[in-house]
């Protein structure tokens, strides 16, 4: 299973766009890239998933370059309620989701 | 849909006691997962069921831990006897199928073993 590396923490302000980059140099051909969000005292929640290029939903965008060795989660115009831990996961050929340490995002007023 | 339901939400017990955590997956989901989250070790997969059958229990810490899924709408995770190092938040998750399908997590059970 591919290992991921992402920043431990990030700070932002309300209304800004936040980009969290994840490195996954050993990603396999049939692996997907998935991002989860976890608020305190809650279980992780699926945000977005992609395989290549760009995926967008009502919450975020996911940018994946051609070599797929990294990916960037983009949160447009964050609010205080976006303060959470964000996990980048790589897999898909297996049921095993490997959650790393995640990125702790703090949105300030 | 109510989502994944877990009970109890909080459990405080004394060392040596038996603890049973319960989970009701989302209706129609065929895969069920039990996770444990601690500050030191993060989120770890304990066991995975597919169609009520345990497929992978390699994450279960030791024999004190056991899990069952008697039917498609109910699963239990039991710890007997419990120890202070078992203190953690235990999450249950379900997905429509295995592999790339999204996993939906419950609210978790915060277990404290004194």
pLDDT given for residue A2 in this prediction:
60
What average pLDDT does this structure show over B70-84? 96
Whether B10 contacts B113, CB under 8 Å: no
pLDDT given for residue B35 in this prediction:
95
**Are B105 and A32 a contacting pair at CB < 8 A?**
no
pLDDT, tens digit, 9 for 90 and up, residues A24-61 = 998 888 888 999 999 988 999 999 999 999 999 999 99
Residue B2 pLDDT level (bands cut at 50, 70, 90): confident
- Name which of A42, A43, A93 is nearest B99 (Cβ-Cβ): A93
Residue B99 pLDDT level (bands cut at 50, 70, 90): low
pLDDT given for residue A3 in this prediction:
82
pLDDT given for residue B102 in this prediction:
84
Q: Give the distance, in angstroms, between the CA of residue A16 and the centroid of all CA atoms in the same chain.
A: 17
What average pLDDT does this structure show over B42-53? 92
Residues 78-97 of A with CB under 8 A from B: 87, 92-97
Chain A environment of B26 (Cβ under 8 Å): none
Q: Give the distance, in angstroms, between the CA of residue A27 and the centroid of all CA atoms in the same chain.
A: 15
> How far is residue B55 from each of residues A17, A96, B27, B28, B33, measured CA to CA in Å?
41, 11, 20, 18, 10
pLDDT given for residue B1 in this prediction:
64
Question: Minimal CA–CA distance to B103: which of B20, B10, B2, B3?
Answer: B3
C-alpha–C-alpha distance, residues B28 and B5, integer Å: 14
**Are B43 and A44 a contacting pair at CB < 8 A?**
yes
Q: Which region, left, alpha or beta, applies to residue B6 given φ > 0 means left and ψ of -120 to 50 means alpha?
A: beta
Other beta carbons within 10 angstroms of residue B1's beta carbon come to 8
State the smallest CA–CA distance between residue A58 and chain B in angstroms: 16
- Name which of A44, A49, A93 is nearest B105 (Cβ-Cβ): A44
Residue B72 pLDDT level (bands cut at 50, 70, 90): very high
> How far is residue A100 from each of residues A1, A25, B45, B46, B58, measured CA to CA in Å?
12, 15, 12, 15, 18
Chain B environment of A95 (Cβ under 8 Å): 31, 33, 48, 50, 55-56, 95, 98-99
* Pairing label, strands B5-7, B10-13: unpaired
Cα-Cα-Cα-Cα torsion A45, A47, A52, A53, nearest 10 degrees, comes to -170
**Are A95 and B42 a contacting pair at CB < 8 A?**
no
**Are B102 and A46 a contacting pair at CB < 8 A?**
yes
Residue of B32, B35, B102 to mutate for A, most A C-beta atoms under 10 A: B102
pLDDT, tens digit, 9 for 90 and up, residues A78-96 = 999 999 999 998 886 667 7
């Amino acid at each position: 299973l591919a290992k991921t590396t992402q920043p431990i923490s990030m700070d932002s302000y309300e209304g800004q766009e936040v980009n969290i980059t994840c490195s996954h140099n050993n990603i396999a051909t049939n692996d997907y890239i998935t991002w989860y969000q976890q608020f305190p005292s809650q279980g992780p929640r699926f945000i977005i998933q992609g395989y290549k290029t760009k995926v967008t939903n009502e919450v975020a965008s996911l940018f994946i370059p051609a070599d797929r060795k990294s990916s960037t989660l983009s949160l447009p115009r964050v609010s205080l309620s976006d303060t959470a831990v964000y996990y980048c996961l790589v897999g898909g050929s297996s049921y095993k989701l490997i959650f790393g340490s995640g990125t702790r995002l703090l949105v300030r007023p | 849909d109510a989502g994944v339901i877990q009970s109890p939400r909080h459990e405080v017990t004394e060392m040596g006691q038996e603890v049973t955590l319960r989970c009701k997956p989302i209706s129609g989901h065929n895969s069920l997962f039990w996770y444990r989250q601690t500050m030191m070790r993060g989120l770890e997969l304990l066991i995975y069921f597919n169609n009520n059958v345990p497929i992978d229990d390699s994450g279960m810490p030791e024999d004190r831990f056991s899990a069952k899924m008697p039917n498609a709408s109910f699963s239990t995770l039991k710890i007997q006897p419990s120890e202070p190092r078992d203190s953690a938040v235990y999450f249950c998750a379900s997905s429509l199928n295995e592999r790339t399908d999204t996993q939906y997590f419950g609210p978790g059970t915060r277990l404290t073993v004194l």
